[in-house]
Amino acid sequence: MSANATTRYADLPDLHPPATPFESGVLAVPEGHALYWEQCGNPDGLPVVFLHGGPGAGTSPTYRRFFDSKRHRAVLFDQRGCGRSTPRASLDANTTWDLVDDIDRLRRHLGIERWLVVGGSWGSTLALAYGQTFPDHCLGFVLRGIFLFRAIEVDWFLSGMGTIFPEAHAAFLGFLPADERATPLHSYYRRLCDPAPSIHGPAAVAWSRYEEACSRLVPRLTEGSPEACLPLARMEAHYMIHAGFLEEGQLLRDLPRIRHLPATLVEGRYDIVCPPRTAWDLHQAWPCSRLVMVPDAGHAAMEPGIRRGMIEALNAMTP
């Protein structure tokens, strides 16, 4: 999320007041990565870890405002290669399981035994992968815009969104030469991994523009710089081309490992990026989960109904 987005959301009354971290730092993790992290709220409050979307989107000060400064000890961090973590936009040792291990390293670094896991979009994927790996360190889950990284969901992103946003999809494909449009993921990935800014920069903008155009109930025209778009576009393509580093259907298959834990799933009825059917499938497999279908929202975290649903879910999950 850009600085302009942070400013735009500064006065929303349904978010908690802006918060300043009481602690921040950089955690060195294997393979040369260093992760920016911060804590805000009440040091003695309920521990909560926030997993941002993308992959590659990074955190924003606005995300702190999901958390009640009196009740929550909120931990936010930038995953490998994005935000304030370094090296920037690096795909080296950047897999789902590297990120899962990073989350638990951060938990141990901060001396937290168990925490509530919060994530949206790709963050919901990562939250489920983390929980299924370390269930004993999870108190429960608040998830938004559910994405399970099944092949049908990746295919929907690459082509199905054009059913609703044909002009955006046409521009997404139109960026590529005609003979490469049948394989957009591989064609974009090759460009996004090219070291030359003249190659990866325009591809990053085109990829990010496509996703942004499909993310809201009422689309708006925004565009980041090539440098700002690169981590998100490069990492999304990287994870998609590797099927999320997951076996097909793995997160539903391994759900019994966390099925005893409470979960609230917040989903926009008109989420085009992560269609509601995925949230429904997860809810059906998770008997103790609660599905909140927001009737007037798309995918983005700051859609009015989504942000209200997230805050209400967090309040309900807090003792």
Q: What are the structural domain ranges in the chain?
A: 3-148+246-317, 152-244
- Please tell me which residue in 169, 238, 283, 299 is annotated as part of the active site: 299
> ∠ CA 59-63-68 to the nearest 5 degrees?
140
- Please tell me which residue in 121, 187, 208, 215 is annotated as part of the active site: 121
Q: Which CATH class is domain 3-148+246-317?
A: alpha beta
Is 299 a residue of the active site? Answer: yes
Contact of 15 with 65, CB cutoff 8 Å:
yes
Phi and psi, residue 223, nearest 5°: -155, 130
Q: What element of type H or E holds 62?
A: none
Is 121 a residue of the active site? Answer: yes
Dmax over CA atoms of the chain, in Å, equals: 58
Tell me the C-alpha distance between 184 and 195, whole Å. 19
Model pLDDT, residue 220: 77
Tell me the C-alpha distance between 247 and 85, whole Å. 28
Is 136 a residue of the active site? Answer: no
3 state SS of 200: helix
Residue 27 has a CB neighbour count (10 Å cut-off) of 16
Tell me the C-alpha distance between 261 and 185, whole Å. 36
- Please tell me which residue in 72, 271, 283, 289 is annotated as part of the active site: 271
* Short-list 235, 216, 209, 191, CA closest to 83: 235
Beta strand segments in 167-223, E: none
The per-residue pLDDT string of the chain (319 residues; one tens digit each, 9 = 90 and over) reads: 333 344 444 456 789 999 999 999 999 999 999 999 999 999 999 999 999 999 999 999 999 999 999 999 999 999 999 999 999 999 999 999 999 999 999 999 999 999 999 999 999 999 999 999 999 999 999 999 999 999 999 999 999 999 999 999 999 999 999 999 999 999 999 999 999 999 999 999 999 999 999 999 988 777 789 999 999 999 999 999 999 999 999 999 999 999 999 999 999 999 999 999 999 999 999 999 999 999 999 999 999 999 999 999 999 987 6
Tell me the C-alpha distance between 64 and 72, whole Å. 10
Model pLDDT, residue 175: 98
Identify the DSSP state of 82. Answer: S
Tell me the C-alpha distance between 269 and 271, whole Å. 6
